[in-house]
Chains A and B, each alone.
Chain A
Amino acid sequence: MEIIDILLTANFWAAALRIATPLIFGVLGALICERAGVLNLGIEGIFTAGAMAGWMAVWLGAGLWGGVLVAALAGGFFGLIHAILTVPLGLSQHVSGIGVTLLATSLSYFTYRTALPDVSSPPRITPFQPLDIPILSDLPFIGPALFSQTALTMLALVMVFVTGWVLYRTPLGLAIRAVGDNPSSVEAQGLSVYALRIGAVVAGSSLMALGGAFLTMSAFDAFFFGMINGRGWVCIALTVFASWRPGKALLGALLFGAFDAFQVRLQTEVGAFLPSQVFLMMPYLLSIAALIIVARKADYPKALLVPWFKGQR
């Protein structure tokens, strides 16, 4: 009974969408990279870099949207490192990705500590505020759940549509889908495999960084160590869950967000007789379960992880 009540509140769905927002950015970014044939395990670090860079830009006086831009650029920069190492140089995408995560995370912490050597509590910025759209925000249920989110959540939802459009409706998307399946098909048609893959990784990484920026500029108002807390890795799993499709990516992120929002509420309801860790585990366990069901039939982009070199076939 209580469970049903939880699911029926607009408040619950608003929280689910809020929790899902950084994941939406992350999964979209990861799927763009993987559609082009590059696994980007730099995602966890790119989240951190985006969170830190966006927040710091605002703290230093930039506007909120300026901060978002800085975060995207920071993500693009680390994406470029990963792309150069894995695409023209053809290094192991796993090793390079983990390296980028370590580098980006450490560099973010280092920059933060260098800029703020001795603060006890992290300085705060004024984050994005919930939108108040006339009429729409006043709708019952939908209003508070969907239209009272911050601008970044709206941007995430728009990006789902944009990514889908680019991938399936434009020549560029066609080339990205082709290069992730058989790079030779792209080269034989006179397009550059390297340019496509590097471009996709940089663009995807910029999107991932926005997920980090959402955390420091919308969900919270400051930067903490360890605040990404594995969200990047969740995105990698959700990408498989989404079968590399933007629409399903949204679904997967929402599902995870709903699990998470649900467990928080469940803790207050039945937390008296179960340790809270059990609830914290829940979204991850349910994600694993969902993944097992979906991923067994996963149709990986065939050239994923396979380096391609010009003049070699």
Chain B
Amino acid sequence: MSSAANPSLEKSPQLLLQLAAITKKFGPLIANDAIDLDVHKGEIVALLGENGAGKTTLMNILFGHYVADGGTVMVAGADGILAPLEPGAPQAALDAGIGMVHQHFTLAENLSGLDNIVLGTEPIFRLRRDRTGARAKLTKLMAGSGLNVDLDQPIHKLTVGEKQRVEILKALYRDARLLVLDEPTAVLTPQEADSLFATLRQLAATGLSVIIIAHKLAEVLAVSHRIAVLRGGKKVGEMATDQADRRSIAELMVGRDVPVSRRSERAPGKPVIGLRDVTIDRGDARRSLHGVNLMAREGEILGIAGVSGNGQAALAQLIAGLDRPDVGSVEIFGEKVTKFDAHQFAQNGIARIPEDRHHDGMVGSMTVAENIAIEDVRSRDYQKFGFLDFEAIRKRAEHAIADYDVRCPGPDAPARLLSGGNIQKLILARVLEKSPKLILANQPSRGLDVGAQSEVHRRLLEAREGGAAVVLISEDLDELLTLSDQIAVIHAGHVSAAIAAHDIDRSELGLMMAGQKKGDIDFGPDNFESSTKPREKTDENAPRSGDPA
């Protein structure tokens, strides 16, 4: 289909959307600089760019969340004639047939899927709601698009993939002719992503136009007809997908060569941390672990793959000394831990790169220098007669800022002024300067742009070279496969045995993340129900009991 897309579009160039010279400024920052973009009927356009390139801003202007400072948005009506869209009015965008699926879902979690979809579609002052009509229309839509979801469940009981389906149904229910998806695959397993793309292609074939905002190349190459690349608020390139080449797009996006992280061969050393049959039951699946066995060794990166919310938080808390196992034990350098205390763990050389860097990684109102020293205020190096030695703290901060290229106004600036990438560098500076024995890196590059991401990867590999053990918790398969020596998969609190990274392939990993057992991979004695079921029936769907090999 994609190969035929371009010529066929030229034959029937029915323009659906025309963005012309869209400009938007936030203070001194030019988020969108005279961007043009056309979308035709039945076309899937990928909007590519790094964080901060202006993709989301552009789409928020289209949807009326922001008002552009300049430029026009024209949308074709049912008659195919372009008409300007009223700026700053989501209702106008909805009426024009534009549906948007935000990266952070805009669903009320206390309401059912049906309620969320119907919300705002009927006149608000009415004595009754028409649920039967809505249900009939949705049943038809679901059958036609393959977007199946239980409409009566409250949203908070649905999986991420199901929530996304509700979001798409929300747009289709309003007869959207253009669907905008902001980073739709960020939260999906590879199988869920494939199934989403299949649905999108099917919908495009029936005439729906789609814009996908993404920063991952591989997936948009698979699904889109055309690619537009944004960088620094400008459109720097546009091409038909079948004529696009991966490397040149990457350079267009970043604007320079991206250094590729390479792992050297290295034999692992002694075990640093070991978990033996650890069970933590907190009633909530996100905070529970079931019979987990893990070991991280010196000079080794142990990747923990999994869709977030499957017990990673519990694992991270445990390794950081913030929680204790109900059953089982933890050993550090072969010694059984008796006292679970974060300070004690840090003293033992365990460094923590927390998942939520803004919330758990720093104190926004404190200065950069204070944030760098915050884990060591008990150390004599930063004290003088029992008081904090600000001179010493400042000196360390200045070193850290220089060594780790933390872009900030200075050591005395409040940390909240820093961008996400620079906050992460600040955290790296804090934890890596102490040459830790074990680094717990929880989603270390999530939300960072390619530059900052490669910096994080370089530092982690450097620490590995230096003999540190790294536990890398991540949802990003590329990251895991590039960095890890061993990979274990976490699902619903169960952790698989670690497998050497070069023995594993992406689709296998994806299936395991979705909770499927495969061959010799053993999640533990008890069967668990998978919450996210991949659609594709492949050999991997081996029976749960018996010997699949």
Q: Which residue numbers of A lie inside 8 Å of B, CB to CB?
A: 169-172, 174-175, 177-179, 181-182, 184-191, 299, 301-302, 310-311, 313
Contacts and interface: CB of A to CB of B under 8 A. Distances in A.
Interface string B93-114: 0110000101010111111000
A170 B127 contact: yes
B107 A182 contact: yes
Contacts, number: 90
Contacts of B115: 174, 178
A186 B120 contact: yes
Contacts of A174: 111, 115, 118-119, 129
B187 to A, nearest CB: 16
Contact of A190 (B94, B111, B126): B94
A311 B88 CA distance: 9
B122 interface: yes
A176 to B, nearest CB: 10
Nearest to A312: B65
19 contacts: A170-B126, A170-B128, A171-B123, A174-B111, A174-B115, A174-B118, A174-B129, A175-B124, A177-B111, A182-B106, A185-B119, A186-B120, A189-B94, A189-B120, A189-B121, A191-B91, A191-B124, A302-B110, A313-B65
Contact of A181 (B94, B108, B129, B170): B108
B387 interface: no
A312 to B, nearest CB: 9
Contact of B129 (A170, A299, A310): A170
A177 to B, nearest CB: 6
A171 B126 contact: yes
B107 A175 contact: no
Contact of B124 (A171, A182, A185): A171
Of B65, B121, B126, most A-chain CB atoms within 10 Å:
B65
A184 B101 CA distance: 12
Given A171-B124, A185-B107, A178 B119 contact: yes
B123 A177 contact: no
B90 interface: yes
Nearest to A172: B124
Given A171-B123, A174-B129, A188 B90 contact: yes
A313 B104 contact: yes
A251 B271 CA distance: 60
Given A170-B129, A171-B126, A174-B129, A186 B119 contact: yes
B404 interface: no
Given A182-B108, A182-B109, A188 B118 contact: no
A188 B106 contact: yes
Majority-rule SS of B interface residues:
loop
Contacts of B125: 170-172
A172 B129 CA distance: 9
B66 interface: yes
A179 B119 CA distance: 10
A4 to B, nearest CB: 41
Q: Is the interface of A mostly helix, strand, loop or mixed?
A: helix
A184 B123 CA distance: 19
A178 B102 contact: no
Given A301-B110, A311-B66, A185 B116 contact: yes
Contacts of A170: 125-129
Nearest to B66: A311
Interface in B127-185: 127-129, 170
A163 to B, nearest CB: 14
A189 B106 CA distance: 9
B119 A191 contact: yes
A238 B122 CA distance: 33
Contact of B116 (A178, A190, A302, A311): A178
B186 to A, nearest CB: 15
Contacts of B65: 187, 310-311, 313
Nearest to A302: B109
Contacts of B123: 171
Nearest to B90: A190
Nearest to A184: B106
Given A177-B108, A178-B119, A190-B90, 16 more contacts: A169-B127, A171-B119, A171-B125, A175-B119, A175-B124, A178-B115, A181-B108, A182-B107, A182-B109, A185-B119, A188-B102, A189-B94, A189-B106, A302-B110, A311-B66, A313-B104
A197 B60 CA distance: 23
A174 B124 CA distance: 9
Contacts of A299: 110
A310 B178 CA distance: 23
Task: Determine which residue in A178, A182, A185, A188 has the highest number of CB atoms from chain B within 10 A of its CB, and name it.
Answer: A188
B164 to A, nearest CB: 14
Given A170-B126, A185-B119, A186-B120, A177 B110 contact: yes
Of B60, B116, B120, chain A has the most CB atoms within 10 Å of the CB of: B120
A195 to B, nearest CB: 9
A85 B407 CA distance: 37
A178 B108 contact: yes
A145 B66 CA distance: 58
- 6 tightest A-B CB contacts, nearest first: A189-B120, A190-B91, A188-B106, A178-B108, A181-B108, A184-B106
A191 B174 CA distance: 14
Nearest to A179: B108
Nearest to B63: A188
Most central of A172, A178, A186 by chain B CB within 10 Å: A178
